[in-house]
Amino acid sequence: MKRFTLLAAAFLLLFCPLVVAKDRPNVLFIAIDDLNDWAGPFGGNPQCKTPNMDRFADEGATVFMNNHCAGPVCGPSRSALLSGFAPYTTGLYGNSHNMLDSELVQTHATLPEYFNKHGYATLSSGKIFHAHRSENGFDRGQWAFENWVQSGGGWGVDQSTLYSRRKGILNGVVQENPKFADPHGSEFAWASTTRPTEETSDYMTAMWAAGELQKEWDRPFFLAVGIFRPHLPWYAPQEFFDMYDLDTVELPEVKDDDLEDIVDANGKPSFKPSSDYLWCREDDHIFKAAVRAYMASTSYADYCLGIVLDALKASPHYDNTIVFIWGDHGWHLGEKLRFRKASIFSEATRAPLMVRVPGMDKIQRVYSPTNLLDMYPTLVDLCGLPEKELDGTSFAKLLRNPSAKGSEVTLTTRGPGSVSVRDRNWRYARYRDGAEELYDLKKDPMEWTNLINSKSPSAKRAKKKLAKHFPKSFAEPIETKKYPRVGGPDLTIKERRDLALLK
């Protein structure tokens, strides 16, 4: 078979179905956990240093500026994008909900399984699927891949640099009667690592992926790489903390009464400042240290990403590999008087996404609303696999023409009855307790003024338009149970799913 020129290969990739498995493009699928729009190409915080993401975008990639997650925490977001079905369809709303307990997932192939079914070698290391306890220990989605490798390395915590709200520790010093300590709460902490960069988990995952990219393959590959930082706790090598001078760290803009105009059906405030926020707000030193720790962890993740991208560029596969780089949801750093995720405010729903297909040689940006849920049908589309009925919509045409008409809106679901829906200019949210939000994103990008009671004709039109896109029904939350056995009692989940003849 004659070698295509780069331009011809790009044309084939974008416009023609690829029907022969060996001629299909490879897929490099990279997740960065809890990454928000502070990454350089998205412009959320110019102080945050992500040179490898910047380079990836500038050398030729599509940056999705209005991309969102289907669910604003790891489990439902990843379950949705990997299954192709939204939380309101599956009932997978929380981290405790195992996607294998969904009837849809039990009968339909997940993204890597579908690619394997159609001739792809599938391999993975790091966090791609959300982890759950199972009968065989921890289920990390290893059943979905031909070759799954446990992440190596570790972190080690330099206790002299530790900040921990849960334990009441500031810069290694245990505080007397700490106001916001919570020994039973989830950890909100950061510190430098005792292990050098080369012995940390994400670095070792990146090096594994780099090695796989140098191999010759007799069929196309789907390589999934999960980078765990900047997920909490923010443990990163000291060199990445040293990239930021604590004194010059700028804090996010915060409005002290930001939550007062979001009220439930009885007129009572639906939200209050979180304990993490109140702890950080008590002292600007703590607030700045938290912001620096998130940026340090993001820069560390970017460094590990660079190892994988450099390996791809040096490999024989560069000209025939599609690259997706994505975060599973956004992250609050004080906005809306909270830290973390798990809200349907924009800081938690907006999920970074960059895509490179062979032939791209300059950055382009898409402002149409998209969703991580759209990645599954888009990859099926780009790789010429048989079309599959899914909740998402392919955005392949936006890679050809970023100004093309895309989806009109995108949705994020927090649970039955709580949904945020947005287009380019407006965001409307409705909650189970009767609270509603409406924001004019052009005039109020920080979403400080809730227009839900506005008499403005434009606000009324926006609410009416967006409300039409709310789900007509919500699946009941999944009951946590054991994955139903397809074969005999000694079969692994992967063996059972191989026998299930998934659609």
Which tens digit of pLDDT belongs to each residue from 336-381?
999 999 999 999 999 999 999 999 999 999 999 999 999 999 999 9
Residues forming the active site: 74, 130
Structure tokens at 30: 């990279």
Domain segments of the chain as ranges: 24-156+193-499
pLDDT at 500: 81
Residue-wise pLDDT tens digits, 194-209:
999 999 999 999 999 9
Q: Report CA dihedral (423, 424, 425, 427) to the nearest 10 degrees.
A: 40
DSSP, collapsed to helix, strand or coil, labels residue 322 as: strand
Cα–Cα distance, 276 to 188 (Å, whole number): 7
Banded model confidence at residue 136, pLDDT cuts 50, 70, 90: low
* Residue 430: strand pairing partners: 419, 436
- pTM for the structure as a whole: 0.93
DSSP structural state of residue 339: E
Say if CB 421 and CB 435 are below 8 A apart.
no
Closest CA to 393 of 84, 20, 172: 84
Could you tell me which CATH class the domain 24-156+193-499 is placed in? alpha beta
Angle between helices 201-213 and 284-313 (to 10 degrees): 20
5-31 core/surface letters (b: 16 or more CB in 10 A; e: else)? eeeebbebbbeeebeeeeebbbbbbbb
**Left if phi > 0, otherwise alpha if psi is -120 to 50, otherwise beta: which for 72?**
alpha
Residue-wise pLDDT tens digits, 218-271:
999 999 999 999 999 999 999 999 999 999 999 999 999 999 999 999 999 999
pLDDT at 417: 95
172 membership: H or E segment, kind and range: none
pLDDT at 496: 78
DSSP structural state of residue 127: S
Rounded to the nearest 5°, which phi and psi values hold at 371? Answer: -140, 150
Banded model confidence at residue 5, pLDDT cuts 50, 70, 90: very low
Residue 256 exposed, middle or buried by CB count within 10 Å (0-12, 13-18, 19+):
exposed
Residue 135 exposed, middle or buried by CB count within 10 Å (0-12, 13-18, 19+):
exposed
162-186 core/surface letters (b: 16 or more CB in 10 A; e: else)? bbbbbbbbbeeeeeeebebbeeeee
Residue-wise pLDDT tens digits, 407-464:
999 999 999 999 999 999 999 999 999 999 999 999 999 999 999 999 999 999 999 9
What 3 state SS string does 427-448 have?
A: EEEECCCCCEEEEECCCCCCCC
Structure tokens at 138: 């921890």
